Copies of this chain bind each other. A is one copy, B any other.
């Protein structure tokens, strides 16, 4: 359920909009002037801000400026009786994302709010779920590697090594770095051990030809996706 911060100084209009939004499944925070709105914004971190432009204490444009200083991502939608093109331009320049002139229909407001929310990039950039390695799914903490229906359990060393390859995917992962991290030192024999694990990971990953672990002689390995 997305949260909308609504800032509007006309009580009657504010109430109507709030009710309409709530009836469509939005959680609505309401403020009736810019200052109260800013305070609420800081407390609630809403998913989108819908603000009137002409308001007492702190007008919508100044409010937007302040919000942008603190948060570059949250969409801001202006709601206003003004219809001067210059105002619209100013609204966008201050970091607004849309501008709706009064009178407007609730349907249009809602659809524009949805349009803004839908473009929001993956809000949770790292839900630390399984990692995608080609067509494989790799769950590092669980040490599981899935290819479609079949799942296999990796040993600890295999998982740690694959994780490091993944973190450096498409770049070279240096032998010495891994050896010191996982083995503690980079002696000759440990180096051979690493080779053995590379072989094992290659066999695990053989079902997707897109995925390859290529050797960079004398330096290390590269995981290619």
CB contact under 8 A between A112 and B92, given known A105-B85, A119-B119, A156-B216: yes
In the bound assembly, the distance between CA atoms of A157 and B215 in angstroms comes to 11
Are B89 and A111 in contact, with the CB atoms below 8 A? yes
**CB within 8 A of A108: which of B88, B112, B157?**
B88
Are B85 and A156 in contact, with the CB atoms below 8 A? no
Residues A96-118 near B (CB distance < 8 A): 97-99, 105, 107-108, 111-112, 114-115
Name the residue on B nearest A128 (C-beta): B170
Number of interface residues of A (CB under 8 A): 32
Asked whether any CB of chain B lies closer than 8 Å to the CB of A192, the reply is: no
In the bound assembly, the distance between CA atoms of A49 and B37 in angstroms comes to 35
CB contact under 8 A between A141 and B89, given known A98-B98, A214-B156: no
In the bound assembly, the distance between CA atoms of A89 and B105 in angstroms comes to 10
